[in-house]
C-alpha cells in the first residue's frame, strides 16, 4: 500500500510564544521545534497500516530548512522516504496555499491513503486535511479515534458532541488523526541512524508546478488580552471560603 503522512514542524507545546513588536508574527528565537502532536498520531497510524498491509510510507512536509529534522524524525519512526517542500513563499502560508502545495506533491506519487493531524498546534486552523482531500478529489474522514481498513474500504470512529459515529469510506482517502487513535512510537537509536540515509527530496513550489495563492492572511498578531487579577479568597475555614465563592458567582459574576 502507498501511504502518505503529512507533518508540520511547530513550536513545542511548552514553548513561550512572544509576538513580534510589530505584530507581524512570533519571535522564533529560542523555540524548540517539534512535530505537531496530532501529526505524530497520523505518522503512527501510517506505520501501523504499512505493518499490516505492506508498502511504503512517504512523509510530506512544508517549511524552512529546520523542517528537515521533523521529516527525519518521522523517517526514524519508520517511514521510508520524504518530500520536503522548502519555499519562502510557503512559510506561514494559509491553509489553502498549504493544502495546494501538499496536493501538488502528492499528485506526483502513488497514494492509497493519506494521513494528516487534525490540526497543527501553531496556527490551529484545522483545515488542511479537508482542503487537501478536496483538491485531490478524495473523500475525507476527519478527527478520528479508530481506523479499520479492509480491502478498499476504511471504517473510522469519529466522536461528535454526545455520540460516536462509525463512518465508512473508500480508498484512496484522507484521514485526519486525533488523540486516542494510537500511541505514537519513539524513534529507536537504530531507527535514527537509518533515517539519516533515507531519501528526502527537497522541492520548491515551482518544481511542483505550483503558483502560491493565499486566500487569507494574518493581518496582525497580538498577545492574549490580559485578564484582570483575580480574587484569592482568604481564611482558614473551607466552608466559609466556599460560601464566599458561591456568593460571588451568584451576585458578582451572575453565572449561577
Partner 1 sequence: MAKGVWIVAEQRDGALRKISFEIASTARKLADELGDEVCAVLLGSGVEAMAAELAKYGVDKVFVADDAALEPYTTDAHAAAVAKVVKENDPAILLLGASVQGKDLSSRLVGKLATGMASDCTDIKIEGGKLLATRPMYSGKTFGDIVVSGTPQMASLRPNVFPAVENAKAGEVVKFDAGLDAGALKTKVLEVQKDASGKIDLTEADVIVSGGRGMKGPEGYSVLEELAGLLGGTVGASRAAVDAGWRPQSDQVGQTGKVVSPNLYIACGISGAIQHLAGMSSSKYIVAINKDPEAPIFARADYGIVDDLFKVVPELTAAAKKIL
| Residues within window 33-92 making contact with partner 1, judged by CB under 8 A | 37-38
Cα separation, 252 vs 250, whole angstroms: 6
Interface with partner 1 in residues 142-161 (CB under 8 A): 142-143, 145, 155, 158-161
Does residue 21 touch partner 1 according to CB under 8 A?
no
Closest distance to partner 1 from the beta carbon of 226 (Å): 10
Nearer to partner 1, 166 or 193 (CB): 166
Does residue 193 touch partner 1 according to CB under 8 A?
no
Scanning 15-23, 74-82, 105-113, 194-202 for contacts with partner 1 by CB under 8 A, the matching segment is 15-23
Does residue 164 touch partner 1 according to CB under 8 A?
yes
Q: Kindly state the cell numbers that stand for 1.
A: 500500500
Cα separation, 119 vs 125, whole angstroms: 6
Does residue 198 touch partner 1 according to CB under 8 A?
no
Helix/strand/coil (H/E/C) assignment for every residue in 147-170? EEEECCEEEEEEEECCEEEEEEEE
Q: Kindly state the cell numbers that stand for 67.
A: 523542517
Q: What angle do CA 165, 138, 184 make, to 5 degrees?
A: 60
Q: Which of 33, 64, 96, 191 binds partner 1 (CB under 8 A)?
A: 96
Scanning 55-63, 105-113, 199-207, 221-229 for contacts with partner 1 by CB under 8 A, the matching segment is 221-229
Q: Kindly state the cell numbers that stand for 251.
A: 451576585
> Site mask, partner 1, residues 107-136, x = CB under 8 A?
--------------xxxxxxxxxxxxxxx-
Closest by alpha carbon to 3, among 70, 68, 77?
77
Cα separation, 226 vs 19, whole angstroms: 14
Q: Helix, strand, or coil here: 198? A: coil
Closest distance to partner 1 from the beta carbon of 84 (Å): 23
Place of cell 458561591: 246
Closest distance to partner 1 from the beta carbon of 196 (Å): 30
Does residue 29 touch partner 1 according to CB under 8 A?
no
Q: Which of 51, 65, 95, 208 binds partner 1 (CB under 8 A)?
A: 95
Crossing angle of helices 37-53 and 67-77, rounded to 10°: 40
Does residue 170 touch partner 1 according to CB under 8 A?
yes
Amino acid at each position: 500500500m502507498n501511504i502518505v503522512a503529512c507533518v508540520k514542524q511547530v513550536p513545542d507545546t511548552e514553548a513561550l510564544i512572544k509576538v513580534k513588536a510589530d505584530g507581524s508574527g512570533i519571535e522564533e528565537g529560542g523555540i524548540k521545534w517539534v512535530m505537531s502532536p496530532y501529526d505524530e498520531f497520523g505518522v503512527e497510524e501510517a506505520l501501523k497500516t504499512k505493518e499490516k498491509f505492506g508498502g511504503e510510507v512517504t512523509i510530506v512536509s512544508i517549511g524552512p530548512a529546520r523542517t528537515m529534522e521533523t521529516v527525519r524524525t518521522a523517517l526514524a519512526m519508520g517511514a521510508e522516504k520524504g518530500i520536503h517542500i522548502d519555499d519562502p513563499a510557503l512559510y506561514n502560508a494559509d491553509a489553502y496555499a498549504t493544502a495546494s502545495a501538499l496536493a501538488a506533491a502528492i499528485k506526483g506519487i502513488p497514494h492509497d491513503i493519506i494521513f494528516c493531524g487534525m490540526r497543527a498546534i501553531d496556527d490551529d486552523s484545522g483545515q488542511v486535511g479537508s482542503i487537501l482531500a478536496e483538491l485531490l478529489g478524495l473523500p475525507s474522514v476527519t478527527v478520528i479515534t479508530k481506523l479499520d481498513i479492509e480491502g478498499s474500504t476504511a471504517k473510522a470512529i469519529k466522536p461528535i458532541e454526545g455520540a460516536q459515529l462509525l463512518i465508512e469510506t473508500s480508498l484512496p482517502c484522507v484521514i485526519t488523526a486525533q488523540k486516542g487513535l494510537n500511541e505514537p512510537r519513539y524513534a529507536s537509536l537504530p531507527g535514527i541512524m537509518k533515517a539519516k540515509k533515507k531519501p528526502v527530496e527537497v522541492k520548491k513550489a515551482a518544481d511542483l508546478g505550483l503558483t502560491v495563492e493565499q486566500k487569507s492572511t494574518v493581518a496582525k498578531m497580538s498577545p492574549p488580552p490580559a485578564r484582570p487579577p483575580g480574587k484569592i479568597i482568604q481564611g482558614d475555614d473551607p466552608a466559609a471560603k466556599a460560601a464566599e465563592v458561591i456568593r460571588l458567582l451568584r451576585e458578582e459574576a451572575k453565572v449561577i
